[in-house]
Chain A
Amino acid sequence: MTELGQNLIDALALGSLYALIAIGITLVYTVMGMMNFAHGEFIMLAAYALYVFAGLPFGAALAAALLTGIAIALLAERVAFRPVRSADLSAQLVTSLAVAAILQNVVTATVDARAQSVETPAVLSESTSIGSISVPNLEFVTLALTAIVLGGLGWLLYRTRTGLAMRAAAENFDMARLLGVRADRVIAIAFAISGALAAAVGVLIVMQTGQVTPTMGLTPVLVGFVAVVIGGFGRMVGAVVGGLLLGILSSLLGVYLPEGLVPFRDAIVFTFPVLILIVRPHGLLGGEIGKARV
């Protein structure tokens, strides 16, 4: 029982992390219709900010990571994504792939291709006991952060004018624009929030692994994409459900898989969504997107 409880909390924490990634990708998708490959590099660059500013007090390094995530997202939007805003989905996807490749290799060229270790505050690697269950503090942080982000986004989207504009843009971008929604502003805000979420994820990953590498964004962005797909494109709730599902599956497989198969965990995790898509080609909470419009 204790072990099960322990495993469930681990699984929930990983699922929350994945949900944060999926939300960041979904935000941009809803206002712009683009699946952003470079989201993983936003995560990676924010993580590198922690490495670069390791000498500063931890709070200042965190702020630097957050600002890095937001700044790089805004920069990428302005320079690369705005010019292809009206292009089709595939073209946008390839554009974001180019941005990802550039950012990744800029870090390879300026820092190093190899992993660099980052010191993390000791308190995060300690655990707190609740009854017979011992929970790593980092998992508390992850769960709390996810709750805050979900609450904050809910407030933003459903209680503010900006949120109304974003939801309108997500429903029908051209119509929203005709009705006076300022497209550039809405998209920039979405990217800024997406960059901030990426920064949060980057920090959490560094706290977990204690290191940074130029390719560290690849798996998270795939996780985010897959979560978005199985959740049903463009649905915030779908992103959360998809992220949680993937995280829980991955975490539990890590514990309960026979030893010989553990190295193949990722292969099994990423095969599972394909099975969902075969049964439900438009995802679990599948929307209208991708269906024929006649």
Chain B
Amino acid sequence: MSAARFRSRPSAVASLLVPLALIAIVALAGADGTPAFQGTVTLILCNLIVVIGLQVFVGNSGVYSFGQLGFATAGAYVAAFLTLPAAFALLQTPGLPHFIVDAHLGSFPSTLIAAAVSGLLAMAIGLPLMRTSTLAIPISTFAFLIVAYNVVANWDRITGGSSGLVSIPTTTGVESAALWAGAAVIAALAYKWSASGYRLQATREDEVAARSIGVGVMRERLIAFGLSGMLCGVGGALAVHQSGVLNPTTFYFGATVTTMTMLVVGGARSVFGAVIGAIAISTVNELLRGVENGASLFGSISIGEAPGLAAIGLGLILLATMIAMPNGLSDGREAGELRWLRRLGSKGAVPPPRAHGPGLAAIPPRDRSAKGALRAERVSVAFAGLRVLKEVDLSLEPGEALGLIGPNGAGKTTLVNVLSGFQAPDSGSVWLDGVDVTGRTPARLAHDGLGRTFQAALPFPHLSGLESVAVGAMGMGIGRRRAVEVAAIVLGRLNLLDRSTQPAGSLPPGSQRLLGIARALAIQPRYLLLDEPAAGLNEAECAELVAILRNVLKDFGCGIMLIEHDMSIVMELCSRVQVLDDGMTLRVGTPDEVQADPAVVQSYLGSSFLAAADA
């Protein structure tokens, strides 16, 4: 029996080989041309590496950075310093330490060092920047770009100031640029398909849901930011060894717009998109410049110097793409995920995971030995003076199902948010297995064994069902291979296997909702909080949900807390029911006791419920 996989082998191979083949074609087209044409092609390949660098961060995180060209600048200057002939170095950069001037490295080691320096710089810069909000990152990275420019342009004794550096050895040829570009493709795909890459993509798809399965948003962004900076540094280092000249505007605003256009036009979510975007826009750019110069089509190009016409053309292309085709030429897919290629190659793109594997008992809650419970003690929360929770107590033990009911606005969801770390209580505390966990982040609580779902399904639309659920396991730091196994088991138990290869966003609402439960189960929680899991499900789906949850209780043994308006579901599953009303606990008891309580009937169930129950 073959193990479950995210993608079929032909699909993975195509995703890798198609971009590599495109790069090889570009390189072959350039190899026989005039020296000027070779130079143009080499620079296109250097740009392509920078665009792949952008893709690693922007594509996987969904957060735009306008600062990555600052790392290309860093890589370019480091590579130039390490290779400048001593005589020129003394003239242009008198302040440079001797050991750097005397290094006289070759092209390859200087590129490696440039990569390391720009990668480390990106980590150092990213450490504070990634702490800022999703909204502030584009702006703080833009600020970094301008700071970097300002420093480079004014640090005359080291960088040669605004006039820049000349006479840098020109050692980058078409072949070496193509090899580096190929390596960049491999690195970007390897990252995208790693557990860390998947965790970052989950934050792109839905940041809140990603945090609920234990993903440290800041940490994953930082890793990608560093890798992205490294690749941009390689692109910069190779470019400077092609053109032989460098100044602070080489990789500045103009180049930022150009590379961003390449990424967006190709489709930021895929490496394939980055490659075709870079090639397509470079070609258009050359044609426009040809028209601009009125002369030969493929004249020499210089990055950064972008007079009128070509830049207007690029701007218009970027604008049209954003309006008419926001997913870009690749539609955000890798080459192996394209429809025509699927049709051409293997029929079932991904072998469906095993249908009759082991039950949930094979993936018990982590740390099952721990004794204890999830408890809220005298929790109070107020929003702008409105007291939503007033000293509420709650306790949930592993293996039991607790129903949380009450009228709308009673504070049920707020209580779940407090328990799962999304809402800090104004007073009171949350205890998990005897430890005070008040104030811990949602991601930390997920690691502590707490899973939850939301009133909305919050799917990861562009990830497949299998990937969505496996990310849950990967959020726990479980390796990719094992995570797929866990996901297959959970999906099998929830009868979702047959649809698990489709993008989650294309599934019907009922399946998306179940997928949300599967995702929370994949973190193998000791406590699972479900916020209206049956909302929007039809009757058949409701019955299925009840069967599934019964199965989870029996097989899996975690404690389940259920917010639900459908009393039949609550009565069927729960051994205890807690009734909230106006932020206070009205009653805790068995389903029968609660139903018989006149206060509960009056506040929530209503007399028609009694009538229906009698009937």
Do A and B pair up? The answer is: yes
**Assembly CA distance A222 to B133 (angstroms):** 17
**Assembly CA distance A80 to B135 (angstroms):** 21
Are A109 and B454 in contact, CB atoms less than 8 angstroms apart?
no
Contacts known (A101-B257, A277-B132); A94 close to B315, Cβ less than 8 A: no
Of all chain A residues, the one with the shortest Cβ separation from B139 is: A225
* Number of cross-chain contacts by CB at 8 Å: 150
Neighbour of B62 across the interface among A90, A95, A228, A293, CB < 8 A: A90
Contacts known (A94-B318, A108-B308, A229-B140); A270 close to B147, Cβ less than 8 A: yes
Contacts known (A91-B326, A102-B312, A222-B143); A215 close to B135, Cβ less than 8 A: no
Contacting residues of chain B (83-142) with chain A, CB-CB under 8 angstroms: 128-129, 131-136, 138-140, 142
Are A292 and B208 in contact, CB atoms less than 8 angstroms apart?
yes
**Assembly CA distance A106 to B313 (angstroms):** 10
Contacts known (A108-B308, A225-B139); A266 close to B319, Cβ less than 8 A: no
Are A292 and B211 in contact, CB atoms less than 8 angstroms apart?
yes
Q: Determine whether B586 belongs to the interface, using a CB cutoff of 8 Å to chain A.
A: no
Contacting residues of chain A (244-294) with chain B, CB-CB under 8 angstroms: 263-264, 266-267, 270-271, 273-275, 277-278, 281-283, 289-290, 292-294
Are A98 and B139 in contact, CB atoms less than 8 angstroms apart?
no
Are A102 and B140 in contact, CB atoms less than 8 angstroms apart?
no
Q: What range describes how many residues of A lie at the interface?
A: 35 or more
Are B143 and A97 in contact, CB atoms less than 8 angstroms apart?
no
**Assembly CA distance A75 to B454 (angstroms):** 41
- Distance between B24 CB and nearest chain A CB, rounded to angstroms: 30
Are A102 and B316 in contact, CB atoms less than 8 angstroms apart?
yes
Neighbour of A229 across the interface among B139, B315, B422, B454, CB < 8 A: B139
Are A274 and B208 in contact, CB atoms less than 8 angstroms apart?
no
Are A226 and B139 in contact, CB atoms less than 8 angstroms apart?
yes
Contacts known (A278-B128, A278-B131, A282-B133); A94 close to B264, Cβ less than 8 A: yes
Are B315 and A80 in contact, CB atoms less than 8 angstroms apart?
no
Flag B311-349 by CB within 8 Å of A: 1 or 0 each.
110111011001100100000000000000000000000
Q: Which residues of A contact B413 (CB under 8 A)?
A: 294
Q: Determine whether B604 belongs to the interface, using a CB cutoff of 8 Å to chain A.
A: no
Q: Determine whether B307 belongs to the interface, using a CB cutoff of 8 Å to chain A.
A: yes
Of all chain A residues, the one with the shortest Cβ separation from B258 is: A101
Q: Which residues of B contact A267 (CB under 8 A)?
A: 147, 150-151
Beyond the given A101-B257, A282-B133, A294-B413, please list 10 additional residue pairs across the A-B interface where CB-CB is below 8 A.
A90-B64, A94-B260, A94-B322, A95-B322, A98-B318, A105-B311, A222-B142, A273-B143, A277-B131, A292-B422
Shortest 6 CB-CB contacts between residues of A and residues of B: A109-B308, A102-B315, A290-B133, A263-B154, A98-B318, A101-B315
Instruction: Return 26 A-B CB contacts under 8 Å, by A number.
Output: A84-B326, A87-B326, A90-B63, A94-B264, A95-B322, A98-B315, A98-B318, A101-B315, A104-B311, A106-B308, A109-B307, A225-B143, A229-B132, A229-B139, A229-B140, A264-B150, A266-B147, A267-B150, A271-B147, A273-B143, A274-B140, A277-B131, A278-B132, A281-B136, A290-B134, A292-B208
- B residues with a Cβ closer than 8 A to A are 62-64, 66, 128-129, 131-136, 138-140, 142-144, 146-147, 150-151, 154, 207-208, 211, 253, 257, 260-261, 264, 306-309, 311-312, 314-316, 318-319, 322-323, 326, 413, 417, 422-423, 442, 454
